[in-house]
Structure 1
């Protein structure tokens, strides 16, 4: 039987009177929840409103937020006070010691110390339960309505469903200064008649590219927005209170209350972030609007996003940025808007790059340097490429490499380099214009980012520092972490980052030694096929080895960057994200671009001359560039790196890893696909979302695009097809990320933002 009760606070006098009537080891009738069930409790505005997404058991009040926690097994006995727990531990130890002294056998085969340790574990769980109960009481005091669900289909997990009534929404919206649309509307001027006609013509031509989520005709009327005020409710359209605050806004309001609500009876004050960090609650998330699959699924924003945005069949359509912002918030909306602008700007760059490549193909037969190299009549003999094992060779054997180099290194490459420099500037200005327009449409023009709440790790460190300074004077009671406290973490972070960059350089040097040694080994080979394809074998295998190392080290560097950022104990989530992005960028940039920088700027410049070659590590002679330069090898390295990273790391990992995890969960549940589907049909919305992955932020998504943008702009002269490959990857990436956000990840908290944050400074 499922337990779903509603509770109201109980006065301290009632709890004290009841506690006085309990006997030794007894439990107060108010001790489990410190509240009284009230199943008939209903919201004022929900009583007559239609069903808006997941609701409480009454079918009226919608679930705005969910907290999960561990539920002890029914047979375990719970103790509510440390006094009773300590007394039982002491009594058990005394009984065991007295029995052993009298020469008798212990009443239990269990070691008393082990039993005492188990009691301490129970006490730790009781401490969590105490904090949880106090926190929930404080939530009720601020006006939130709660419903518990401990008898669900997920064993060991309890759910606390939270609903924000109308008065709480209004109060918090005024406190947060949320801009809400008023009754007053104004007309948006479209400019002159000529401009308006051009815009209408463009809109009609591109009508098939627009998703079916908004009116196809441009809106000429806009609601005037104003910070919400309870004293000026008459200015706002409150005819439908149930939809005035959408699900995204309601979840944001509840989350602000959860972060601000404190547990003051514990050793230190803490909000939901600290409670999650201490394990009092295991997860906290808002719910998705509904299901995305099935013929009977109700029409909701999530299903519309799945059909018109997260499906590969609509890859050619524009993104519904307005609906993305409505469902996920401005921060995620800006990321997908930036990704859309970047992908659109790649179209002309890809076209020009293909033209440059085709020009090289058309003029390869007329290229004078390659014609001279391929002419057998010249009979030019070249010096050996290595000592002892290599012999003299004819220049005409490099004919194929010379002709291939012309495909990417021709007179049109100079024009393409100038074009890409101008393209990067135009992209930057175009995005700034697009960002300002979105700020106007989304009413973010007057938005100022406020200081975020403290992170759980920061509060724990402050608490530990406070406990060490209990004898402080009253003037010094305010404690915070200073640079002195973080100095060891800063020094360790700097040392480890320098060490990891050194590891990257060592790996590049190792690949250099591999090329030198494998070339000598192939020259000594008795296989004529191997000896005839030495250059292609060395270049291809070295590029593949670099790709494998880059992919492996990328994962290592991402984990190291997060670990170093955690050690620094940033104060807020925003500071944590900024530091994480910077560290990740430095490490991954060095990892991805070190082989490319070596090929572009260093290889072939430290070779020496016949009779006076440069050697490394004794007898290893530094490798030379090909007769036509190192541009061809740079092109091969860029091609394999871009294709490999995008295909394997960005797409295959994001698609394959979630499917593998899902398959493992299915194997552990001993259910086939049909049974799993039937089981999912019986779950409620909060139970389904519990099985989804947590939202880890946008840092990994931005980092993928930053590395790709660097490859497209910095070394595009050696690989004109890079914009084309980036365009094809991004078309898939947009729909892949969309599907992940809609179907595989818990709904993130909507965060307001005016720009893309630290990523903007790195890119531009």
Structure 2
């Protein structure tokens, strides 16, 4: 009816302290201390959903009540809130089973089950309570029988975390890890502990990376290599067909200067340092983690065994899920993973084609600046497109990884999480790094030579490296992806949840206003009603309902983002010495951004107990090994370090040890170039006479290109084979030296401090003595 004000439910009024009888409002009761609720379920009222869905909703609530779980129902407008409280007996069973477990133990000093543990237990029970049709809570959520499920934030602890941790002004302060652990559980605490340790240990490589950068900057103007490029009158061959003309090597003076910033002798030492640093980081992390894990009394914790305990607590007659292995399923999953990787690599090939076509279009364009820098422009456009592909493929990779986990039919959630992590990281790694591997190891090496260029579909020539080297192309690619990824991701990571919360707040504004006035009429009653509402739980439930939803893999997203960044920081650091500095700056912001988001913008994560970061430690160790191989190949294959070394000691002016007043690298650039003459029939067919006209209008009969080939028959020269042999020798030597250093570092640094080992020893001894004394009694 128009103007009719809907009356609140009896449950709501009882909770607020107002009693209604036969429609008449009685004297308000004194405020009652609210009960602590372990979990909240939210659904639509019967008027706003199908009757079949309402039946399932009612049936599920009845199943919970059969387990002696107290359910408090509050109806307001079109929403139904169910406050879930588990009985004390459930937690007593859990404590007892932990005490007798082999791999999980309960600290004797914990006489009261903390709320974080209560939430974890109730969360498991809710997800493993089916209705008669066999549908669980997850199925009912997909069917929209329930709109939301969440555990409540604790206001007092939430304010404490905001003050000490989740604020921007605390960026340069330490983290209250123990407080985070008490509120969010060990799994979240270990993520922030790892992220903080990773950020702290990024300081040395960031400083050394800046020093390497400054070392290149110190020789910015005095290097003979730069002078030779900037003062050269060498005419270079056209970079594309038709409209592209010959060009002067001196036109790329700026590019040569940038190349020297990231391709110098300091890069080699820095790459070796970063490979050893990755090992030291992991070894010191194990020590750092061991100290906190020992303090939290979870050193022997086993997640799979806890799941078994929770199954018994939920249903004493449960049957265990047996371990199974299917070769057919494993083969199918392996085939699907391989096919997915091939698809991702195929996208890399498409990216290469895009860059080739973009370079041609830019070179043939009317803008002179773009025509002169067509290759660099194509590389930048390719990097931006690569970032867009990464954004799209991230969603696709997640869907595929989840489907593959369903095919595997893993035994427990812990196994599912591990399997999903490995697959998702593998897909993401190829998505991020396939293009970088092409730029690092194939760009400019398979494009052919004048008179014998390699073409795509017989039409478009492949890209070429700059005469100053290919490492700058890799640097440009990495810089654009890292900056875009970290900047845009952080912006969306913070503004997305904030905007969603704002939208939900607008939707529930009417509901909140009704709670604030408690349906009382005059102003004095409204004030008193507001005080009663402050004591009720409805306002907390509404505020938590407005927050952004979280799930079991919310923390996974944060870990994946940081591990991908760790990959960027270590694998191709030889091409980008400033990567650790960018990672350090990003992580200082990331810690507070994640903290603010987790404490204020998102619903509370279900606290999970663990003693390690799980399979991520194996992923990080694999990245450390790959970093050694990749950096060795980047220096040995991608950079000009080896050709310069060979020239200095074999072909340069200092080769015979007789030159004293001349720099040993003089003449290197001309030595690295080969000549193509128009008198050759293949060259004449390759380039038209119009292309052999310099910008100044001079006709030339020959041009230079970067390669070690004979000027007569274009065969590879002995210098090429010598450089190739030295490249392979360097890669083998580099990897063996660094791997030995990694093993020595891993052996030298114990995985746990001696104090931690001694504390665990005495703790086990005391517990065994207690058991023995109880046995004698």
Output the TM-score relative to the length of structure 2.
0.67
SS state at 1:405 partner = helix
Report deviation, 1:587.
1.1
> Is contact 2:44-2:78 (8 Å) kept?
no
- Structure 1's 665 and 695: CA in aligned 2 closer, same or farther, altered over 3 A? closer
Report deviation, 1:677.
10
**2: CA distance between counterparts of 1:408 and 1:674?**
60
> Is contact 2:64-2:129 (8 Å) kept?
yes
Of the candidates 536, 546, 549, which is equivalent to residue 389 of structure 2? 549
Counterparts in 2 of 1:345-424, with a 5 A limit?
345-376=201-232, 379-424=233-278
User: What per-residue deviation string (whole Å, max 9, x for no partner) do you get for residues 182-216 of structure 1?
Assistant: xxxxxxxxxxxxxxxxxxxxxxxxxxxxxxxxxxx
User: What per-residue deviation string (whole Å, max 9, x for no partner) do you get for residues 609-657 of structure 1?
Assistant: 22222222112222211101110010010000001111112x1221122
Structure 1: tracts of 5 or more residues without a match: 8-38, 40-55, 77-120, 180-224, 230-235, 239-243, 291-299, 457-476
**1: CA distance between counterparts of 2:280 and 2:412?**
34
Report deviation, 1:515.
2.6
- Structure 1's 674 and 633: CA in aligned 2 closer, same or farther, altered over 3 A? farther
1:426 aligns with 2:280: yes
> Is contact 2:105-2:301 (8 Å) kept?
no
- Structure 1's 380 and 677: CA in aligned 2 closer, same or farther, altered over 3 A? farther
User: What per-residue deviation string (whole Å, max 9, x for no partner) do you get for residues 636-687 of structure 1?
Assistant: 10000001111112x1221122233234435556879999999999752223
**2: CA distance between counterparts of 1:178 and 1:308?**
38
Which residue pairs with 1:689 in the alignment?
Answer: 544
Report deviation, 1:419.
1.1
SS state at 1:160 partner = strand
1:246 aligns with 2:114: yes
1:129 aligns with 2:95: no
1:652 aligns with 2:491: yes
Output the TM-score relative to the length of structure 1.
0.68
Report deviation, 1:738.
0.8
**2: CA distance between counterparts of 1:175 and 1:381?**
81
**2: CA distance between counterparts of 1:541 and 1:666?**
40
Counterparts in 2 of 1:207-246, with a 5 A limit?
227=106, 244-246=112-114
> Is contact 1:553-1:591 (8 Å) kept?
yes
**1: CA distance between counterparts of 2:548 and 2:485?**
23
Which residue pairs with 1:444 in the alignment?
Answer: 298
Which residue pairs with 1:14 in the alignment?
Answer: none
User: What per-residue deviation string (whole Å, max 9, x for no partner) do you get for residues 543-585 of structure 1?
Assistant: 2222222223223322332343345443322122112111211
Of the candidates 144, 149, 153, which is equivalent to residue 73 of structure 2? 149
- Structure 1's 518 and 256: CA in aligned 2 closer, same or farther, altered over 3 A? closer
> Is contact 2:322-2:411 (8 Å) kept?
no
Which residue pairs with 1:741 in the alignment?
Answer: 598
- Structure 1's 122 and 629: CA in aligned 2 closer, same or farther, altered over 3 A? same
Which residue pairs with 2:579 in the alignment?
Answer: 722
1:160 aligns with 2:83: yes
**2: CA distance between counterparts of 1:339 and 1:701?**
10
- Structure 1's 548 and 572: CA in aligned 2 closer, same or farther, altered over 3 A? same
SS state at 2:33 partner = coil
> Is contact 2:478-2:576 (8 Å) kept?
yes
User: What per-residue deviation string (whole Å, max 9, x for no partner) do you get for residues 725-754 of structure 1?
Assistant: 111111111111111211122222221111
- Structure 1's 496 and 227: CA in aligned 2 closer, same or farther, altered over 3 A? closer
**1: CA distance between counterparts of 2:265 and 2:474?**
18
SS state at 1:608 partner = coil
Aligned Cα root-mean-square deviation (Å): 3.7
> Is contact 1:66-1:162 (8 Å) kept?
no
Of the candidates 632, 643, 665, which is equivalent to residue 483 of structure 2? 643
- Structure 1's 479 and 527: CA in aligned 2 closer, same or farther, altered over 3 A? closer
Of the candidates 439, 449, 456, which is equivalent to residue 609 of structure 1? 449
**2: CA distance between counterparts of 1:746 and 1:337?**
21
- Structure 1's 719 and 73: CA in aligned 2 closer, same or farther, altered over 3 A? same
> Is contact 2:98-2:105 (8 Å) kept?
no
1:712 aligns with 2:712: no
User: What per-residue deviation string (whole Å, max 9, x for no partner) do you get for residues 237-280 of structure 1?
Assistant: 86xxxxx43321332344455567676xx365x87667667766
Counterparts in 2 of 1:538-577, with a 5 A limit?
538-577=378-417
Which residue pairs with 1:288 in the alignment?
Answer: 153
**1: CA distance between counterparts of 2:321 and 2:578?**
56
Of the candidates 609, 614, 617, which is equivalent to residue 760 of structure 1? 617
Of the candidates 42, 45, 68, which is equivalent to residue 71 of structure 1? 45
